[in-house]
Amino acid sequence: MTTRPAQIALIIAAMTAITSSALAAGDDERPLLWDKVRSGMSVDEVRKLYPADGITIKWHADKQTEIEGVVILEGCKAEVEIQHPAGAVEVVKVKGKGSIGGRCSDKVFSALSAKYGQPDGRTEQSGSMMRRPKSTSVWSREGVTMRFAWMNDNGGGGGGLLQSSWEMEYRASASQIAL
């Protein structure tokens, strides 16, 4: 059986329609970083996702979009920074708002471990007079690297009351590395 040019054109048109409808339906192949934000989204796409309806949002078109007061878990709020320095989303950072004694950092870490399993890696950074000690855990799932940093109070208070006791970073995983 030979395929005619008209049949080929119909097959190509059908494949294009299927691909276009799949992307329109949300089957976007770009890695989903956080909430509805995908790696590589344009600033306009981000604005469409988050109109300023009942949330505090600041658009800095040249570098990032900030969303304040996002409830992460009951009693735990955060500020979200969607970073798009070159006009496309590269990184999403979620920074915990202050909580007494950094209680939310423990709750958030436990929720992450329940959702993604034990971290793929963990590092500890000692503190100094100018820097709080920090633990960092990393997960890599579905094309996204997630880095959770948990800051301690170094025995001097402030483990989250006046400053963030945790932050989470989401970015597309590097698919190739020259090592």
**Per the domain annotation, does 48 fall within a domain?**
yes
Q: Tell which phi-psi region holds residue 105, choosing left (phi > 0), alpha (psi between -120 and 50) or beta.
A: alpha
**Per the domain annotation, does 130 fall within a domain?**
yes
CB-side neighbour CA atoms (13 Å) of 52: 6
**Per the domain annotation, does 163 fall within a domain?**
yes
What confidence score (pLDDT) does residue 54 get?
A: 65
**pLDDT tens-place string over residues 81-112:** 999 999 999 999 999 986 655 678 888 999 99
Task: Give the 3-state secondary structure of residue 178.
Answer: coil
Tokens of 50: 């988050």
Residue 162 has pLDDT above 60, yes or no: no
**Per the domain annotation, does 2 fall within a domain?**
no
**pLDDT tens-place string over residues 105-155:** 888 999 999 999 999 998 887 766 556 678 899 999 989 999 999 886 654
The total domain count for the chain is 1
Q: Is residue 175 packed enough to be buried (19+ CB in 10 Å), middle (13-18) or exposed (0-12)? A: exposed
**Per the domain annotation, does 166 fall within a domain?**
yes
* pTM given for the model: 0.74
Least confident interval from 26-35, 37-46, 112-121, 154-163: 154-163
Residue 43 has pLDDT above 80, yes or no: yes
- Those residues whose C-beta lies under 8 Å from the C-beta of residue 27, and which sit 6 or more positions away, are none
**Per the domain annotation, does 179 fall within a domain?**
no
According to DSSP, the β-strands at 166-172 and 32-34 are unpaired
Q: Which domain holds residue 120?
A: 31-172
